[in-house]
Structure 1
Amino acid sequence: MFLPTILARLFAFKASKPLLRGAPPPFLNFRMGLAISLFGFCYLAIGVRLFMLGVTEPPMAGAGLPPPSKARPDIVDRMGRPLARDYPTASVYAEPRRMTNIDEAVEGLTSVFPDLDPADLYKRLNSRAGFAWIKRVTTPEERARLWSLGIPGVGLRDELKRLYPNGRAAAHVLGAVNVDNIGIAGMERWIDAQGLADLRVSGLRIERDSLQPVALSIDLRAQHALADELRKAVTKFSAVAGAGLILDVTNGEVIALVSLPDFDPNIPADALKKDNINRVNVGTFEMGSTFKALNTAMALDSGLFTIRSVLDASSPLRFGRMSIGDFRGQNRPLNVPESFIHSSNIAMGRMALAVGAQRQQAFLKQVGQLDRLTTELPEDAFPQVPKRWSEVTTATVSFGHGIAVTPLQASMAIASMVNGGTLIRPTFVKGAEVEPRIMARDVVSEQTGEALRFLMRLNARVGSGKKADIDGYYVGGKSGTAEKVVRGRYDSNTVLTAFMGVAPAHQPKYLFLTVLDEPKPLKETYGFRTSGWNAVPTTGLIMSRVLPILGVQPDWKEPENPFPSMVAARAWGSNLFAPSQIAARAAALAE
């Protein structure tokens, strides 16, 4: 109706003026040309539209589907072995508006997918909605059965599902994805934060082959060995949980990380169970006597003590009604090596009190024990630090009580003690640049670092760490047993045991950490539940399996002059740390 009206007005003119012979008036030429142009444009538009309708397909069912799941890069271990990858699958959807017989549809769908609730399914299909998910991720057999039923209004959409071919291996590092292939935990979530999420939002088509695999620092073989030995130990000692870590002290790369109980990332809902937390990265614990390595290094580096210093451990430290004693006290003065291998709480407390609360806090902050440690893993935790730092606090912190940190945090600090004094933020990415991750340099002097390596080797040879002293690898380490708080009080029958071992002790490359939560005493441990009877031998078994895997070859000869600045080490000669002579040699240091 609109176009004829315009044309009528274009040709309207006064009837009282007759047409003239000869050339038509100029205004008439203009109006005729304009009319012809409008007619031509209209017919052209109609023709183009008819052509488009003829060569294109009509809208298909499911045109209103949500965007398909996006591809993710493969995740591989440090040697290129697959840890996570996408594989094609399909999901089932329905378009309720197109349903012809809801009852038959419900009957057919529940016959293929028995886990579906018929009442809920009927409610979703009996609506005017344009789209509804029926089943996310299906097997080929399920799809074939559904296809054979030919239910109107029900279709399949190609999607991607994340597959973790090694099951539980490195689950706490890998994390998980949700049903839309979006990272929700661990390195999967970190990958999204590195730009994958932005690509997804941009609407760009992402193909798996166009994405570079992400290489983790994890070694799958070491991961399996660590998990296997740790699982055996948790079972053997009836522990409620366990955790383990292998850290390259030279660059901060995490070679393996295990936390038990663990989960299968192919079933991401299991990751939400409260017992399945990452105890290495998220759990905070009083690390017990492993902290004595830090305390000893602090004392030596302060200049107030030397390797020959003697501390009175003949009687407990007293603070009013509170006293601090030794688990198996020697009840006599101890020099620094004796204090370390006998793990004397009294001697460590005296060191810390001499250094002072302020310098103790400054040292612990410098080595990252008072602040939250962040890595690529989104999951982390703040340390539990005393609100009031009294003399009692100073003494108890010296042997790992009264302060709770993550095992990864504590491992990072010990690594800085033995690697030359460089505090390196741990990483889970292979080849990550070291320089940006250096948190502090020269946290201890080279001489202090060498003294601590000497003490750790001494402890593995004749002290609480000797069950981890495997032949050919010159192991060093420090054990720790921390009483847990039960109903507001420390309970000597409920403990957390740990051992930090380094190899080789004179030139450390790897740090091994084993943690057992509430291990039980056995007949073969003579009723003891302390670290030397469980966490230490477990670490020895782990080292014996993993060090050859990592290319560390055994050397059956003692290294020559392994601790050159230790006068005692040079004096003791090739028969270093002979158990039969240790008491005399340790005593000689005090002369």
Structure 2
Amino acid sequence: AKGLVKIFPELTYGDTLKKLQSGKRFIWIKRNMTPTEQAAVLNLGEPGLVFDYDYHRLYPQGNLVSHMVGYSDVDGNGLAGIERSFNKLLNESKDPLRLSIDVRLQHILRREVNRAITSFTAIAGAGVIMDANSGEILAATSLPDFDPNRVTANPTAPEMFNRVTLGVYEPGSVFKIFTTAALLDLKHTSFSKQYDAVNPIREGRFTIKDYHPEKRPLTIPEIFMVSSNIGTAHMAQEVGTTNLKKAFADLGLMKKPEFEIEEIGAPIIPKPWGEINTLTASYGHGIAVSPLQLVSAVGTIVNGGTRVQPSLVMRDKDDEKSESNVRVISKETSLKMRQLMRLVVSNGTARKANVPGYNIGGKTGTAQKNVHGRYVADKRMAAFVGAFPMNDPKYVVLVMVDEPNPNKTSYGYATAGWVAVPAVGRVISDMGSILGMRPHYDEVDISEPLKQFVHNVKGEH
């Protein structure tokens, strides 16, 4: 027992001696030892100490895709992620299971989310890259993360929590994508129509106001570009509660999404849903969804309007075709939304993501966090969802940062335009090079027709 404890310091003398004196024909002393440790045990010269050789799961990528891949126990039983969901297949079949993750893109995304967290001294972050048409998840990172080769943390530790699929958050103004699409799809309005953004909206004890108020009537492109809460709330009133809730439901935002891993969070929906909930949900407050739901819904909006079902497993073309037959919004509405999202990047709150030649569009969202039933001004979520190229979208990219703080380069701001937007821009810039996507510098900007409806605006930082 003394010799074994010297070789394996993590063992205790008392427990080891008790095992050796148990009288059982077989008992494990130590599992998963190195060749050096095995040689040291042999040198003890004890004939009763024997070795059993078994398969052991190794994760060569370490932390890189830990929340999606998951991990297994010492006997090879999956305990989280894909390992758990496909435990039987992985243990009983020799058929390979191929994930949709592109390790090259995963490295880029993880690096940039980590960079944003570090630069703005945030507590956590998440990122997703999704194929806008097939729904395949090409990269997904949740930070902090863990090494599946050395899972020692408590399952409730921060690094074990999957912020991409299990975490649900109030997304803020990113939700204006879905409210605006709902209004445009009703075909009751036009880009030239103006909505009141002069005065805050008061509903009971609640007041809806703008971060940088324009204090004048705004067109839809202006409301979307400067991210007016007041204007969006008035648009939601025109959509109506029933239609807005249906639009959110059709986009997969009102129920727990289907996905290949079990760590899936259910959205938090207002119950009961009153008039004030229609107004606040229109700009992403009082309703909470996961980053996975956000990228899926945005994919549906930009890909021509057909439903996207996210997947972590590589799909064949027949699977993709069957999903893409479900229409959620019209092609016309999808085109208008791509124009609006491009306007946000070319002229609005996401200019720091404007990589020349890639025709990027998107929407920012900065939301105060609800802590114990109260919104806290200095605790926020900063998110940006981008898609490209907007003339024919192929990819959706999201970066979300939890509780960022201003730094010396952000002039006192910690909003999405400063925190998440540059990160997505850098991700897309590197994606283009890796995927061999040639920049098109001479392509007509898809948002150009909308600029006639945009006047002198302040915009938000």
The answer to whether residue 145 in structure 2 is matched with residue 250 in structure 1 is no
Match of 1:389 among 266, 273, 293: 273
Residue by residue, what CA displacement relative to the aligned partner does 1:268-319 show, whole Å, maximum 9, x if unpaired? 2347242121101110000110000001000111122222221010001111
Residue by residue, what CA displacement relative to the aligned partner does 1:464-489 show, whole Å, maximum 9, x if unpaired? 01100011111111000011012321
One-letter code of the match for 2:126?
A: A
Q: Which residue number in structure 1 is paired with residue 201 of structure 2? A: 317
Residue by residue, what CA displacement relative to the aligned partner does 1:484-540 show, whole Å, maximum 9, x if unpaired? 012321112110000001110111000010000000012221111111011011111
Maintained 8 Å contact 1:462/1:582: no
Maintained 8 Å contact 1:424/1:440: no
Once the two structures are superposed, the pairs formed by residues 67-146 of structure 1 within 5 Å of their partners are 106-146=1-41
| TM-score, normalised relative to structure 1 | 0.74
The answer to whether residue 68 in structure 2 is matched with residue 185 in structure 1 is no
The answer to whether residue 53 in structure 2 is matched with residue 158 in structure 1 is yes
Equivalents in 2 of 1:487, 1:385: separation in Å? 17
Deviation of 1:582 after TM superposition, in Å, equals 7.9
The answer to whether residue 352 in structure 2 is matched with residue 467 in structure 1 is yes
Structure 1 consecutive aligned stretches of length 4 or more whose deviation exceeds 6 Å: none
Q: Which residue number in structure 1 is paired with residue 415 of structure 2? A: 530
Deviation of 1:213 after TM superposition, in Å, equals 2.7
The answer to whether residue 123 in structure 2 is matched with residue 228 in structure 1 is no
Match of 2:255 among 363, 371, 394: 371
Equivalents in 1 of 2:377, 2:44: separation in Å? 65
Maintained 8 Å contact 1:498/1:515: yes
Structure 1 residues 437 and 145, CA, compared in 2 at 3 Å: closer, same or farther?
Answer: farther
Maintained 8 Å contact 2:166/2:263: yes
Match of 2:240 among 356, 377, 381: 356
Equivalents in 2 of 1:431, 1:331: separation in Å? 49
Equivalents in 1 of 2:453, 2:30: separation in Å? 69
Q: Secondary structure at the match of 1:371?
A: coil
Residue by residue, what CA displacement relative to the aligned partner does 1:239-283 show, whole Å, maximum 9, x if unpaired? 100110100001000010011001111112347242121101110
Match of 1:451 among 336, 351, 358: 336
Match of 1:237 among 120, 125, 131: 120
Q: Which residue number in structure 1 is paired with residue 288 of structure 2? A: 404
Farther-moved stretch of structure 1 (303-312 vs 444-453): 303-312
Q: Which residue number in structure 1 is paired with residue 425 of structure 2? A: 540
Deviation of 1:440 after TM superposition, in Å, equals 7.3
Match of 2:435 among 550, 554, 572: 550
One-letter code of the match for 1:288?
A: G
Q: Secondary structure at the match of 1:161?
A: coil
Deviation of 1:583 after TM superposition, in Å, equals 4.2
One-letter code of the match for 1:510?
A: Y
Equivalents in 2 of 1:302, 1:381: separation in Å? 30
Q: Secondary structure at the match of 1:497?
A: strand
Q: Secondary structure at the match of 1:189?
A: helix
Once the two structures are superposed, the pairs formed by residues 175-214 of structure 1 within 5 Å of their partners are 175-193=70-88, 195-197=89-91, 199=92, 211-214=94-97
Structure 1 residues 331 and 476, CA, compared in 2 at 3 Å: closer, same or farther?
Answer: same
Q: Which residue number in structure 2 is paired with residue 88 of structure 1? A: none
Farther-moved stretch of structure 1 (392-401 vs 429-438): 429-438
| TM-score, normalised relative to structure 2 | 0.95
Work out which structure has the larger RCO, using CA pairs closer than 8 Å and 6 or more positions apart in sequence: 2
Farther-moved stretch of structure 1 (181-190 vs 360-369): 181-190
Maintained 8 Å contact 1:496/1:515: yes
Maintained 8 Å contact 1:263/1:271: no
Maintained 8 Å contact 1:178/1:268: no
Q: Which residue number in structure 2 is paired with residue 62 of structure 1? A: none
Equivalents in 1 of 2:235, 2:453: separation in Å? 23
Maintained 8 Å contact 1:190/1:378: yes
Equivalents in 1 of 2:454, 2:266: separation in Å? 41
One-letter code of the match for 1:135?
A: K
Maintained 8 Å contact 1:177/1:268: no
Residue by residue, what CA displacement relative to the aligned partner does 1:139-163 show, whole Å, maximum 9, x if unpaired? 0001011112121322100011211
Q: Which residue number in structure 2 is paired with residue 341 of structure 1? A: 225
Q: Which residue number in structure 1 is paired with residue 363 of structure 2? A: 478
Equivalents in 2 of 1:273, 1:370: separation in Å? 26
Q: Secondary structure at the match of 1:533?
A: helix
RMSD: 1.9
Structure 1 residues 440 and 271, CA, compared in 2 at 3 Å: closer, same or farther?
Answer: farther
Deviation of 1:320 after TM superposition, in Å, equals 2.2
Q: Which residue number in structure 2 is paired with residue 428 of structure 1? A: 312
Structure 1 residues 407 and 223, CA, compared in 2 at 3 Å: closer, same or farther?
Answer: same
Residue by residue, what CA displacement relative to the aligned partner does 1:114-157 show, whole Å, maximum 9, x if unpaired? 21111111122222222211001000001011112121322100
Maintained 8 Å contact 1:265/1:271: no
Equivalents in 2 of 1:585, 1:238: separation in Å? 34
Structure 1 residues 314 and 496, CA, compared in 2 at 3 Å: closer, same or farther?
Answer: same
Q: Secondary structure at the match of 1:145?
A: helix
The answer to whether residue 413 in structure 2 is matched with residue 518 in structure 1 is no
One-letter code of the match for 2:420?
A: A
Q: Secondary structure at the match of 2:51?
A: strand
Deviation of 1:585 after TM superposition, in Å, equals 8.8
